[in-house]
């Protein structure tokens, strides 16, 4: 990660307690717990966006392949 900045947020007490529990277990700060969670969420979000992009590209490639196949059969009809 890059530079850090301070941030004041309000969270439900249960989430604060959970973050504190994780921090104790992993021997890291509460800030590191929250930072790690947000980093994981960002990575999941990016992966989901990339998957959608790949699906869109695959769909477009399928259409292009079908169109190319039709043109190919017009040029070389005996390949059908």
Q: For 15-59, write each residue's pLDDT tens digit.
A: 999 999 999 999 999 999 999 999 999 999 999 999 999 999 998
Neighbours of 34 (CB within 10 A): 18
DSSP string, 12-79: -HHHHHHHHHHHHHHT--HHHHHHHHHHHHHHHHHHHHHHHHHHHHHHHHHHHHHHHHHHHHHHSGGG
Cα distance between residue 78 and residue 80, in whole Å? 5
- pLDDT single digits (tens) 5-24: 999 999 999 999 999 999 99
């Amino acid at each position: 990660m890059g530079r850090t900045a301070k941030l004041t947020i309000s969270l439900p007490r249960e989430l604060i307690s959970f973050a504190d529990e994780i921090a104790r277990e992993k021997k890291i700060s509460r800030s590191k717990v929250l930072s790690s969670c947000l980093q994981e969420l960002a990575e999941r979000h990016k992966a989901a966006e990339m998957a959608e992009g790949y699906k869109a590209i695959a769909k477009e490639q399928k259409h292009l392949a079908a169109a190319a196949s039709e043109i190919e059969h017009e040029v070389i009809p005996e390949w059908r």
